[in-house]
Chains A and B, each alone.
Chain A
Amino acid sequence: MATIELRQVEKKFGEAHAVKPLDMTIKDGEFIVLLGPSGCGKTTTLRMISGLEAVTSGNIFLNGRDVTWLHPSERDIAFVFQFFALYSHMTARENIAFPLQAQGENKAEITRRVAEVSNMLKIEHILNQRPGSLSGGDQQRVALARALVRKPAAFLMDEPLGALDAEFRETMRAEIKQLHLRQHATTVYVTHDQIEAMAMGDRIVIMSNAVVQQIGTPAEVYHDPANLFVARFIGSPGMNLVKGQYANGIVNLPGGSKIDVPTLYRQRLENALKDTNGEVIVGFRPEALRANAENGSCNAKVYADDLHGGFSMLHLELADGIIVHGRMGRDVSYPIGTHFIFDIEPSMIRFFHPKTEMAIHANGSGQ
């Protein structure tokens, strides 16, 4: 059992806030991802949970036990580092056995546990090699084995895939996730890569500038971002965000495009936009565009057409300097400069307040 709870946990370096007071509850067996750009506070938060960093104020609970001031070794957690942190003068086997030796386990038990995790991670064949002669992916597997061998209450991982080549990253991502599905161990995972976060997380905690922006499942943060930051950060590319003018159930976008506002949103918009004179920010993801040459309500000029492999990404200029992205199949090509007429899938349109940057939710769906 390993629930982790953070209550008003805060970190300051001198006067600068690295993490503003944050509350978070991680359920037993959950794979939670701390996501954000460099410097947002995610790594600091992880380090506070581990004990490698002292909190400035607030409390951390592990299974109901207040661990805020405990030494990292007393918290029953295992830490996996981005740059593996393997002991280069020891073999892989000795690296994995190390934590158990430090705890004073007997030799037979150590051998058994090492064999168990090596089998799980399929690294039996490299146990006698030194880290220096192993590939990045294998090194990270050894680092994972070293964390696993202790059977800790929780795993803390600090961008473990960051130092690996792209092909390893995909494989290791699936491996770590499958490991989690089998072990059901509570895991806190830090990354700046939103694709990793979406693929692996049960829930994602998005941070920016020391503040939590949104906590939600991948589907929630993708389809219902709480603010402009989340809308931009999640998805590659991020959500298209265009400033428009709302009046009588229609939003007018620059360049003459129009969007029909679904009835669900109309009342909310009228209320929320009172102080902006009707100005609103419309958000829609690239896959929400539907080509409609006959009677589409939006039009733009093709600025660029990129092949992404299985699909194409169109860069469309609505008006001077305002570019949106549309995800299209590869079969049709769109030459630069041609006119593109389209609609936006109504269920995929979102609205944001231009001043507060917060999402404006549909009627009856809460804050």
Chain B
Amino acid sequence: MSDIRLENITKRFKQVTALDDISLHVNDQEFFVLLGPTGAGKTTTLRVIAGLEKQDEGHIFFDDMPVDTLQPADRDTAFVFQQYSLYPNMSVYDNLAFPLRSPLRKTPENIIKQRVTEAAEKLRISHLLERKTARLSGGEMQRVSIGRAIVRQPRVFLMDEPLSNLDAKLRESLRVELKHLQKTQGSTSIFVTHDQIEALTMADRIAVLNEGKILQMGTPHDIYDRPATTFVATLVGTPRINLFNVQRNNGSLHITSSPLHLPVPAASIPEQLLLGVRPEDVRIEGDGSFDGTVALIEPLGVETIVHIKCGDQTLLSVVPGAASHRLGDAVRFNLARERLHYFDVGGSRLI
């Protein structure tokens, strides 16, 4: 297994700059996630690491060895695609064996058989080995794709949104399996996704990308508790964070278009800023300092999302279990002071 280092990678497609001076370092045996919306550049980053695209500027190192001039075949990476990674006219066994049968490796058949059966067991697809891949379900297909990567025993696993095309339930179960697999194999993995739950639950560290730039890199806790920008704050967390324009006047912070006032947390806070409150930090309490009315109730079973209208603003709040409130009820609530996020008007974190 290897550690991967990207230094100042820039990649352009005609007029568009897909990657803008990207630098990152993935440690050996780490599960590293690239998170961002569609078009952020995460897939391009992965393809550049694999060698399927050539960067315009910058260098890539595997274990401190530059790999820029190496062909994809020589970089010893395994790539799991979002879809279309299985060859339809071959059986599952042949699909799993395919990478090992490449002329580059020249693996003897008995070793192939051993590795294939091992991988099939780990992914619980041993009973499917003789089947043609066209007759598999979505979840089974992705398992085989992952199996194909595992048999290679590569230096690094590169996974491009492998779970995105699966049903929500399938995604949940495969997610846990993948993470457990990675932890027990100790394989360096770089995983691309736009799903923030996948990122938070699976990653050792996350890099948040948007428009070809890295906005923040850190552990899931870092990203969730101390988002570096408003973009990161809104990207991560369901329901999404409440974000407001705030003015500072007369020694307190005032949320525009609402009667809400808060104390100034530090002297360095500017006149205009953005305030972020996560819904779980908007606490509906009988003795709350603020008033509002219930505008919408979304019961999710384990918790309920309550939309509170306060002035012209709407705040989202989560209440554990069922909410006894009805539409139009008056409620009182508090904002957990220590868990507020302050950003300047440009979107960067202040304190």
Interface residues of A (CB under 8 A from B): 37-38, 165-167, 170, 173-174, 177-178, 181, 192-195, 198-200, 218-219, 222-223, 232-238, 285-287, 303-304, 306-310, 313, 315, 327
Within 8 Å of chain A (Cβ to Cβ): is B194? Answer: yes
25 contacts between A and B (CB under 8 A): A37-B169, A166-B195, A167-B37, A170-B238, A177-B298, A181-B296, A194-B168, A199-B299, A218-B299, A218-B301, A234-B301, A236-B168, A236-B172, A238-B169, A285-B302, A287-B321, A303-B180, A307-B200, A307-B224, A308-B197, A308-B200, A308-B201, A309-B278, A310-B318, A313-B201
Please report the C-alpha to C-alpha distance between residue A198 and residue B176 in the assembled complex, in whole angstroms: 24
Closest 8 CB pairs of A and B: A222-B301, A199-B298, A310-B280, A306-B201, A307-B220, A309-B237, A218-B299, A198-B300
B201 x A307 contact (CB < 8 A): yes
Within 8 Å of chain A (Cβ to Cβ): is B179? Answer: yes
CB contact under 8 A between A165 and B298, given known A236-B168, A236-B172: no
- Other than the given A37-B169, A177-B298, A218-B301, 8 more pairs (CB < 8 A) read A167-B234, A174-B296, A194-B168, A195-B300, A199-B299, A199-B300, A287-B320, A309-B278
Within 8 Å of chain A (Cβ to Cβ): is B221? Answer: yes
Please report the C-alpha to C-alpha distance between residue A49 and residue B240 in the assembled complex, in whole angstroms: 35
CB contact under 8 A between A38 and B167, given known A170-B240, A218-B301: yes
Closest chain-A Cβ to B351's Cβ sits at a distance in Å of 21
Please report the C-alpha to C-alpha distance between residue A67 and residue B201 in the assembled complex, in whole angstroms: 49
Which partner residue on chain B sits nearest A36 by CB separation?
Answer: B167
Residues in A neighbouring B125, C-beta threshold 8 A:
none
A235 x B302 contact (CB < 8 A): yes
Please report the C-alpha to C-alpha distance between residue A166 and residue B194 in the assembled complex, in whole angstroms: 8
Cβ < 8 Å to A, chain B residues 219-243: 220-221, 224, 234-240
Residues in A neighbouring B318, C-beta threshold 8 A:
310
Residues in B neighbouring A181, C-beta threshold 8 A:
296, 327
Residues in A neighbouring B307, C-beta threshold 8 A:
174
A174 x B298 contact (CB < 8 A): yes
B221 x A307 contact (CB < 8 A): yes
A198 x B327 contact (CB < 8 A): no
B176 x A304 contact (CB < 8 A): yes
Which partner residue on chain B sits nearest A194 by CB separation?
Answer: B168
Residues in A neighbouring B322, C-beta threshold 8 A:
219
Residues in B neighbouring A167, C-beta threshold 8 A:
37, 234-235, 240
Which partner residue on chain A sits nearest B219 by CB separation?
Answer: A307
B168 x A192 contact (CB < 8 A): yes
Residues in A neighbouring B197, C-beta threshold 8 A:
308-309
Residues in B neighbouring A232, C-beta threshold 8 A:
169
Please report the C-alpha to C-alpha distance between residue A232 and residue B168 in the assembled complex, in whole angstroms: 12
A177 x B296 contact (CB < 8 A): yes
Closest chain-B Cβ to A124's Cβ sits at a distance in Å of 19
A200 x B172 contact (CB < 8 A): no
B305 x A199 contact (CB < 8 A): yes
Please report the C-alpha to C-alpha distance between residue A198 and residue B168 in the assembled complex, in whole angstroms: 14
CB contact under 8 A between A327 and B302, given known A38-B167, A306-B201: yes
Within 8 Å of chain A (Cβ to Cβ): is B289? Answer: no
Please report the C-alpha to C-alpha distance between residue A233 and residue B196 in the assembled complex, in whole angstroms: 21
Closest chain-A Cβ to B282's Cβ sits at a distance in Å of 11
CB contact under 8 A between A192 and B167, given known A166-B195, A309-B238: yes
Residues in B neighbouring A238, C-beta threshold 8 A:
169, 172
CB contact under 8 A between A165 and B296, given known A174-B307, A308-B201: no
Closest chain-A Cβ to B320's Cβ sits at a distance in Å of 7
Which partner residue on chain A sits nearest B298 by CB separation?
Answer: A199
Interface residues as binary, B155-182 with A (CB distance below 8 Å gives 1, 0 otherwise): 0000000000001110010001001100
Residues in B neighbouring A233, C-beta threshold 8 A:
169
A309 x B200 contact (CB < 8 A): yes
B167 x A37 contact (CB < 8 A): yes
Please report the C-alpha to C-alpha distance between residue A166 and residue B196 in the assembled complex, in whole angstroms: 9
Within 8 Å of chain A (Cβ to Cβ): is B69? Answer: no
Within 8 Å of chain A (Cβ to Cβ): is B38? Answer: yes
Residues in B neighbouring A235, C-beta threshold 8 A:
301-302
CB contact under 8 A between A198 and B201, given known A167-B240, A181-B296: no
Which partner residue on chain A sits nearest B173 by CB separation?
Answer: A237
Residues in A neighbouring B195, C-beta threshold 8 A:
166
Closest chain-B Cβ to A219's Cβ sits at a distance in Å of 6
Residues in A neighbouring B302, C-beta threshold 8 A:
222, 235, 285-287, 327
Which partner residue on chain B sits nearest A222 by CB separation?
Answer: B301
A304 x B169 contact (CB < 8 A): no
Closest chain-B Cβ to A206's Cβ sits at a distance in Å of 12
Residues in A neighbouring B37, C-beta threshold 8 A:
165, 167
Which partner residue on chain B sits nearest A312 by CB separation?
Answer: B201
Closest chain-A Cβ to B67's Cβ sits at a distance in Å of 33
Interface residues as binary, B190-225 with A (CB distance below 8 Å gives 1, 0 otherwise): 000011110011100000000000000000110010
Residues in B neighbouring A199, C-beta threshold 8 A:
298-300, 305
Residues in B neighbouring A218, C-beta threshold 8 A:
299-301
Please report the C-alpha to C-alpha distance between residue A237 and residue B302 in the assembled complex, in whole angstroms: 10
Please report the C-alpha to C-alpha distance between residue A313 and residue B167 in the assembled complex, in whole angstroms: 20
Residues in A neighbouring B183, C-beta threshold 8 A:
304
Closest chain-A Cβ to B327's Cβ sits at a distance in Å of 7
Which partner residue on chain A sits nearest B235 by CB separation?
Answer: A167
Residues in A neighbouring B301, C-beta threshold 8 A:
198, 218-219, 222-223, 234-235, 285
Please report the C-alpha to C-alpha distance between residue A238 and residue B234 in the assembled complex, in whole angstroms: 26
CB within 8 A of B38: which of A165, A222, A306? A165
Interface residues as binary, B20-64 with A (CB distance below 8 Å gives 1, 0 otherwise): 000000000000000001100000000000000000000000000
Closest chain-B Cβ to A65's Cβ sits at a distance in Å of 32
Please report the C-alpha to C-alpha distance between residue A313 and residue B220 in the assembled complex, in whole angstroms: 14
Which partner residue on chain B sits nearest A287 by CB separation?
Answer: B302
Closest chain-B Cβ to A240's Cβ sits at a distance in Å of 13
Which partner residue on chain A sits nearest B322 by CB separation?
Answer: A219
Which partner residue on chain A sits nearest B321 by CB separation?
Answer: A287
Closest chain-A Cβ to B132's Cβ sits at a distance in Å of 20
Residues in A neighbouring B168, C-beta threshold 8 A:
192-195, 236
Closest chain-A Cβ to B76's Cβ sits at a distance in Å of 29
Which partner residue on chain B sits nearest A201 by CB separation?
Answer: B299
Closest chain-B Cβ to A168's Cβ sits at a distance in Å of 10
CB within 8 A of B236: which of A165, A173, A222, A309? A309
